[in-house]
Amino acid sequence: MNVSDETKTLKSDTILGKLYPVQKIVHDVNIDPKSVEKPGESPEHLRPLLESVSVKITDQEKAHISYLLASFSDTYVGPDGK
């Protein structure tokens, strides 16, 4: 991981990470849409992600996406680079 502004050059055959098989797929995630932050309460730079979600998904699926965006909002970089 490069946490600096400096360009890093990687040599051929450098291991960057490891892949592991999926252990379990959970299809039934019950999240109450009322318990999730509303798009207006999410960080401004993440609102377009939620607003651009397909209209074909259910309210519960959209709530799950909103929950994930809010839960991990600190991992997304805004337009100001912060």
Q: What does the domain layout of the chain look like in residue ranges?
A: 33-75
Residue 62 main-chain phi, psi, to 5 deg: -65, -40
The pLDDT of residue 31 is: 62
* Structure tokens given for 48: 């377009």
The pLDDT of residue 32 is: 60
Q: Which candidate, 2, 55, 62, 56, places its Cα nearest to that of 32?
A: 62
Residue spans of alpha helices (H) in 1-82 = 47-51, 59-71
Per-residue pLDDT of the chain in tens (82 residues, 90 and over written 9): 677 888 888 899 988 888 889 888 777 666 665 655 554 466 777 778 778 887 788 888 888 888 888 777 777 777 777 6
> 74: how many CB neighbours lie within 10 A of its CB?
7
The pLDDT of residue 39 is: 46
